[in-house]
């Protein structure tokens, strides 16, 4: 199982980290939805057409991810909260052992 930390936005008060475990091969978005993580809406169910699964991936995990494909880059333009250098959609991020402990910050809102 891969451990994941989802950290709430400080805009909602004190940032709170929630740890979740998920099987390798699941997407980061699927892990969030299965654990009812508030802040990941994933309206399109992973079709990469909604940008409501936006996260900010912390280092060193961000550097371990494959670069975003053009369709992810395009969809990030529609993210509700400001895009940062570590902005990613969580639906195309497939969990692997190299991502053990991955920590992501949740945007203040997905809408």
Comparing CA positions, the residue from 100, 88, 77, 108 lying closest to residue 7 is 108
Residues 6+ apart with CB under 8 A from 73: none
Nearest residue to ligand FES, by Cβ distance, number only: 91
> 64 and 95 in contact (C-beta within 8 Å)?
no
Least distance to ligand FES, CB of residue 48, Å: 4
Q: Could you say whether residue 76 binds ligand FES (CB under 6 A)?
A: no
> x/- binding map, residues 77-106, to ligand FES, per CB under 6 A?
------------x-x---------------
Q: Could you say whether residue 53 binds ligand FES (CB under 6 A)?
A: yes
φ, ψ for residue 76, nearest 5 deg: -60, -20
Provide the binding-site residues for ligand FES, judged by CB under 6 A.
29, 42-44, 46, 48-53, 75, 89, 91
């Amino acid at each position: 199982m891969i451990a994941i930390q989802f950290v709430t936005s400080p805009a909602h008060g004190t940032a709170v980290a929630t740890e979740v475990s998920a099987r390798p091969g699941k997407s980061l978005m699927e892990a969030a939805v299965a654990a009812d993580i508030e802040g990941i809406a994933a309206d399109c169910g992973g079709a990469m057409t909604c940008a409501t699964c936006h996260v900010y991936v912390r280092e060193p995990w961000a550097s371990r991810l494959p670069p975003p494909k053009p369709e992810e880059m395009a969809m990030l333009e529609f993210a509700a909260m400001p895009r940062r250098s570590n902005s990613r959609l969580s639906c195309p991020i497939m969990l692997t052992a190299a991502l053990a402990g991955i920590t992501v910050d949740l945007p203040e809102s997905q809408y």
